[in-house]
Amino acid sequence: MKTDKVLIFDTTLRDGEQAPGATMSAEEKLEIAFSLERLGVDIIEAGFPVSSKGDFDSVQNVARHIKNSFVCGLARCVIKDIDAVIEAVKLARHKRIHIFLATSKIHLQHKLKKSQDEIMAIAVESVKYARKRMDNIEFSPEDASRTEKAFLYRILEEVIKAGASTVNIPDTVGYSTPEEYGAVIAGICKNVPNIGKAVISTHCHDDLGLAVANSLSGVQNGARQVECTINGIGERAGNASMEEIVMGLKTRSDFYHLSTNIKTKEFYRISRMVSKATGFIVPPNKAIIGANAFRHESGIHQDGILKERRTYEIMNPEDLGMPSGEGLVLGKHSGRHAFKDRLKSLGIELPDEDLDKAFVRFKSLADKKKEIYDEDLVAIVEDQGHLARVAYTLVDLISTSGTNIAPQVVVTISHKGKKQTKESSGDGPVDACYKAIESVTKLKADLLDYSIKAVTQGKDALGDVTVKVIIAGKTVIGRGASTDIIEASAKAYINAINKFVAQQNLK
């Protein structure tokens, strides 16, 4: 079937959940399924119904609620498996059954202990049985990339005759290279006589770090469905990452000339959702969706980005739904241009002579600290006599809390050369801290988002707190770091207030 559209088959809820420790609750699966539908995924593989009652119920629950995407269940070439899928997805508006059977020599000899002819008969009979009860049948010859080519072509031809409308070509153990895998797909297109009656699909694992490259090679050679997962989670080293495949096709549309139905602005949100549900943290250097994917510290890179984003960014973070936070990370590699630009974003503009002095102090501090925060910049400038009338500075903080006592926080804040101390209680120490800060600044900030992460390892790790607040209708992001998380929370909150005050030019 010739088309310029690539179907996206998501298996986060099935293969993704098979990753050790990635078990998700029924509620989490349904929430993710709704997000996958909103993302524009064509087929959602919701689980392996025969494996447990919980998995059956979860697939059935997804099938009951999803309206636009196809809902698919996995089955071995076993009657009870096929019956379980058909029953689990019967309420779906659009449904599919995915049947698999190993075909490689090593699997036949050591796992199934059957001949090729026996495997052929089982596969054909299973597809025929399923086809009597459902129109949309997908067949996977497990370990296809290591299967003898003549047998692979023959079994694909026969299952298509039996009623399969999609044939999936798994690189089950992530053994193939892009050249090899692409050649497998090209060989299928050339040597399976009735391949035009079916969609060829890819399913690649990342054991050698080649899952995405192999999938794209498959697409380049004729596949028009890609099986993948959010964040690339899955068995062992994981599956092909959906966000990498989709953005590869989109960013290099000049090369692939193919598209998908995916709404890429949903990627950031669903990536965080899956990470939270599974407990698998997305590495900062993860392509497309990692925290560092659009952050720059090198002075040369920062200068280029400030002059023209496309010099060092081939994608727009906003196209992925990423928040428009600071993409330029100030550190020892940063240049004067980025330093000046960050000061400007804080409402600070210095004469060239003062800027040069501040930059020298910034470089000195950057040699000592892994990353420079906005509060550090304010302190650098404040020490030179600038912004002393504007910036609020945390002088002291005392926090008391416990199991049976109400949290109490006392803060001392310096502003315009004067110190003021306020005490407050709250639902927790952070809430009490923020109420005390509001008493000093007389600025009401509604907290939209609060997050904390460890900057380093160990019990003495710095806590890096990021807050997003609304002050007088303006959204401001603040950051603070300390080995004391209450102090870090206070610094982040004050940092947000300082940004607001500076940008409003309040004196």
Percent of the chain with pLDDT over 90: 58
The pLDDT value recorded for residue 91 is 95
* Among candidate residues 383, 409, 428, the one where a domain is terminated: 383
Confidence of residue 332 (pLDDT cuts 50, 70, 90): low
Residues 119 and 242 in one domain: yes
Q: Which two tokens stand for residue 414?
A: 């310096």
Residues 338 and 424 in one domain: no
The pLDDT value recorded for residue 309 is 60
* Among candidate residues 321, 352, 383, the one where a domain is terminated: 383
Of residues 147 and 451, which shows the higher confidence score?
147
Closest alpha carbon to 280 in 9, 12, 10:
12
| pLDDT greater than 50 at residue 1 | no
The pLDDT value recorded for residue 217 is 98
For residue 287, tell me if it sits in a domain: no
Residues 205 and 109 in one domain: yes
Three-state secondary structure call for residue 46: strand
- The HSE-up count of residue 427 (CA atoms within 13 Å, CB side) is 1
Write down the mean pLDDT value for the chain: 87
For residue 320, tell me if it sits in a domain: yes
The pLDDT value recorded for residue 389 is 44
The pLDDT value recorded for residue 314 is 66
Closest alpha carbon to 287 in 252, 248, 255:
248
Residues 360 and 402 in one domain: no
The pLDDT value recorded for residue 294 is 57
Confidence of residue 46 (pLDDT cuts 50, 70, 90): very high
| pLDDT greater than 80 at residue 106 | yes
Three-class secondary structure assignment of 81-111: HHHHHHHHHCCCCCEEEEEEEECCHHHHHHH
Confidence of residue 291 (pLDDT cuts 50, 70, 90): low
Residues 148 and 227 in one domain: yes
| Least confident window among 160-174, 214-228, 415-429 | 415-429
For residue 120, tell me if it sits in a domain: yes
Look at the chain and count its residues. Answer: 507
For residue 268, tell me if it sits in a domain: yes
Of residues 427 and 216, which shows the higher confidence score?
216
DSSP secondary-structure letter at 381? Answer: H
Q: Helices (DSSP H) in 346-453: which residue ranges?
A: 352-366, 374-383, 429-441
Domain count, the chain: 3
Residues 229 and 179 in one domain: yes
The pLDDT value recorded for residue 316 is 78
Confidence of residue 409 (pLDDT cuts 50, 70, 90): very high
The pLDDT tens digits for 381-400 are 655 554 444 578 899 999 99
The mean pLDDT value for 157-175 works out to 98
| pLDDT greater than 90 at residue 366 | no
Whether the pTM exceeds 0.75: the reply is: no
The pLDDT value recorded for residue 306 is 55
| pLDDT greater than 70 at residue 456 | no
Residues 230 and 163 in one domain: yes
The pLDDT value recorded for residue 323 is 56
For residue 442, tell me if it sits in a domain: yes
**Which residues are paired to 471 by β-bridges?**
445, 474
Residues 64 and 143 in one domain: yes
Percent of the chain with pLDDT over 70: 85
For residue 286, tell me if it sits in a domain: no
CATH of the domain at 129: 3.20.20.70
The pLDDT tens digits for 114-124 are 999 999 999 99
The pLDDT value recorded for residue 315 is 76
Residues 457 and 364 in one domain: no
Contacts 24+ apart (CB under 8 A), 334-338: 334/297, 334/298, 334/299, 334/302, 334/366, 334/372, 335/299, 335/300, 335/302, 335/303, 336/299, 337/299, 337/302, 337/303, 337/306, 338/296, 338/299, 338/302, 338/303, 338/306
Q: What is the four-CA torsion angle of 476, 265, 66, 24, rounded to 10 degrees?
A: -70
Phi, psi of 227 (to 5 degrees): -95, 130
Of residues 22 and 439, which shows the higher confidence score?
439
CA distances from residue 269 to 119, 180, 190, 316, 454 in whole angstroms, order as listed: 43, 35, 41, 16, 21
Distance CA 340, CA 358 (A): 10
| pLDDT greater than 60 at residue 328 | no
The pLDDT value recorded for residue 410 is 96
| Least confident window among 31-45, 183-197, 478-492 | 478-492
Residues 183 and 271 in one domain: yes
The mean pLDDT value for 53-61 works out to 95
Residues 354 and 474 in one domain: no
Of residues 429 and 457, which shows the higher confidence score?
429
Distance CA 267, CA 243 (A): 7
* Among candidate residues 221, 244, 278, the one where a domain is terminated: 278
The pLDDT tens digits for 194-244 are 999 999 999 999 999 999 999 999 999 999 999 999 999 999 999 999 999
Torsion 265-496-500-284 (CA) sign:
negative
Report the range out of 64-68, 368-372, 503-507 with the highest average pLDDT: 64-68
For residue 284, tell me if it sits in a domain: no
Closest alpha carbon to 366 in 381, 380, 348:
380
The pLDDT value recorded for residue 364 is 75
Residues 405 and 496 in one domain: yes
Of residues 430 and 336, which shows the higher confidence score?
430
Tell the residue number behind the tokens 């039996």, with chain if given: 162
For residue 291, tell me if it sits in a domain: no
The pLDDT value recorded for residue 388 is 42
The mean pLDDT value for 369-384 works out to 62
Confidence of residue 424 (pLDDT cuts 50, 70, 90): very high
Report the range out of 13-22, 45-54, 384-393 with the highest average pLDDT: 45-54
Domain that holds residue 360: 299-383
